[in-house]
């Protein structure tokens, strides 16, 4: 990893395994890998199934809906680039299809966020090459 510039937010560097995930986000589609052998969904993207080891994985679009599994409110920016973002909600979201992922919940009403709150995906087009997945109250 390159040296961290505290004034710039880090962006993802897609790997061979994760590139379809990031390309899906650019199209405002949330894609996850499903094993063609045991049919388990998995996240994060990787070269083999975490359940059975098969390397036969297919990409499948998720509905983009789920709920807050757990969360915290970030009051102190992790570094300077996030200074204008605080306070913000950093959450583990469980999709209706099952996989959990870490993201932010975009809301001005921080006190309204709670465990089990329904959320839906929103797509943050950071630049021409990168779209990040976030969530908002559903």
Indicate the helix (H) or strand (E) that contains 66. strand 65-74
CB closer to Zn ion, 6 vs 58: 58
CB closer to Zn ion, 40 vs 106: 40
Query: What 8-state DSSP symbol labels residue 82?
Result: G
- Least distance between Zn ion and beta carbon 34 (Å): 9
Q: How many CA atoms lie within 13 A of 110 on its CB side?
A: 12
Q: Report the chain's terminal Cα–Cα distance, integer Å.
A: 36
Q: How far is CA 127 from CA 66, 88, 105, 123, in A?
A: 26, 21, 20, 12
What track of x and - describes contact with Zn ion for positions 43 through 72 (by CB under 5 A)? Answer: ------x-xx-x------------------
Please select the residue that binds Zn ion; options are 37, 47, 55, 70, rule is CB under 5 A: 37
The residues with which 35 forms a beta bridge, in sequence order, are 57
CB closer to Zn ion, 5 vs 60: 60
CB closer to Zn ion, 97 vs 106: 97
Query: Which positions touch Zn ion (CB under 5 A)?
Result: 35, 37-38, 49, 51-52, 54
């Amino acid at each position: 990893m390159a040296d961290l510039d505290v004034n710039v937010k880090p962006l993802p560097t897609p790997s061979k395994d994760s590139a379809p995930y990031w390309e899906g986000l650019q199209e405002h589609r949330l894609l996850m890998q499903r094993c063609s052998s045991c049919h388990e969904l998995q996240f994060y993207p990787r070269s083999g199934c975490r359940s059975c080891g098969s390397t036969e994985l297919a990409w499948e679009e998720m509905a983009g809906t789920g709920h807050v599994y757990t969360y915290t409110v970030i009051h102190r920016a992790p570094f300077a680039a996030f200074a204008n973002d605080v306070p913000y909600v950093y959450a583990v979201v469980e999709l209706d299809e099952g996989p959990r992922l870490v993201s932010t919940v975009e809301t001005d009403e921080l006190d309204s966020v709670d465990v089990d709150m329904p959320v839906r995906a929103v797509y943050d087009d950071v630049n021409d090459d990168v779209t990040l997945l976030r969530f908002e109250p559903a």
